[in-house]
Structure 1
Amino acid sequence: MIQVTCALIEDNHRVLCAQRSKNMSHPLKWEFPGGKLEAGETLENCLRREIKEELGLDIKVIQRLPSNIHKYSDNKIIELIPFRCSLQTSEIILKEHSKIEWSTVFQLEKFDWAEADIPIVKHYIQTFR
């Protein structure tokens, strides 16, 4: 199983949503940004590294949320591990995603989410609405 972290980056009562580029797997689906855990890395350090690499942002990890284990059609299994985060810097540089949007909790359901993110979206809505 592959461990993947993702950041629910909050700012001014909104959360950052990122659209995968057309060149990524699951093209143009929306997700909470993050990435795969590397050997010897803590989950929090993985998340900070991935957000810096993908968006050029520094974040503060606030709280771990319940994980989601997802099996894709190619039999790849991931554990998606979400964290609530806050911004430490505010200038976003898109390096992998096609676009980002800041969304209120009430607007999250309008996005076409990547399958693994859907249970995390639902939990976030139920908990923080």
Structure 2
Amino acid sequence: MKKKIHVVGAIIENEQNEIFCALRSEHMSLPNLWEFPGGKLEIQETPEIALQREILEEFNCEIMVNEKVEDTTYEYDTFIIRLETYMAKITAGQPTAIEHADTKWVKREDLHLLNFAPADIPAVDKLISQN
């Protein structure tokens, strides 16, 4: 039986209507794929609290979490992931990659140009269709 993992992702949008994307490093699972940054929920955490903690830990900035965008379950070769994505805004600091290989701000209509992890693609499609 495959391990089930519940994760959350932040769709952080700036004043120029660009979205913050992070490239997974070669040392992470799903290496060299882009994602909306976030991570695993810990016991007793809400998705909003988990996102605030993960973004602070991995990018050294603070966010305000807004509405849910997508809730996707995707089965990879060795695990099943449930990814909940939420719109978010930076409230303090500038994101700096601590674990990821790269980051970039991308216009909604250009999100499809990045090689996203499969679980993130339904959220990418929804963001592009809302443009």
Answer yes or no: same fold by TM over 0.5.
Answer: yes
Which ranges of structure 1 fall in alignment gaps of 5 or more residues? Answer: none
Q: What do the CA deviations read for 1:68-126 (whole angstroms, capped 9, x no partner)?
A: 1001111x111100000011123222111011000111110100111111111111111
1:25 maps to what in 2?
Answer: 29
2:75 maps to what in 1?
Answer: 71
Hey, what's the Cα distance between the residues in 2 that align with 1:120 and 1:111?
Answer: 13
Equivalent position amino acid for 2:100 in 1: H
Equivalent position amino acid for 2:27 in 1: N
1:87 maps to what in 2?
Answer: 90
Hey, what's the Cα distance between the residues in 1 that align with 2:124 and 2:103?
Answer: 16
Relative to the length of structure 2, the TM-score reads: 0.93
Give the CA deviation at 1:3: 1.2
Hey, what's the Cα distance between the residues in 2 that align with 1:90 and 1:39?
Answer: 27
| Percent pairwise identity | 37
1:121 maps to what in 2?
Answer: 124
Which ranges of structure 2 fall in alignment gaps of 5 or more residues? Answer: none
- Cα RMSD, aligned residues only: 0.9
The count of aligned residue pairs is: 127
SS for the counterpart of 2:98 is coil
Hey, what's the Cα distance between the residues in 2 that align with 1:106 and 1:41?
Answer: 33
Q: Match for 1:10 among 13, 33, 40?
A: 13
Query: Quick check: 31-40 or 87-96, which moved more?
Result: 87-96
Give the CA deviation at 1:41: 0.7
Relative to the length of structure 1, the TM-score reads: 0.94
Equivalent position amino acid for 2:123 in 1: I
Written as runs of structure 1 = structure 2, the 5 A alignment for 1:38-77 is: 38-74=42-78, 76-77=79-80
Equivalent position amino acid for 1:123 in 2: K
Poorly superposed stretches of 4+, deviation over 6 Å: none
Equivalent position amino acid for 2:62 in 1: D
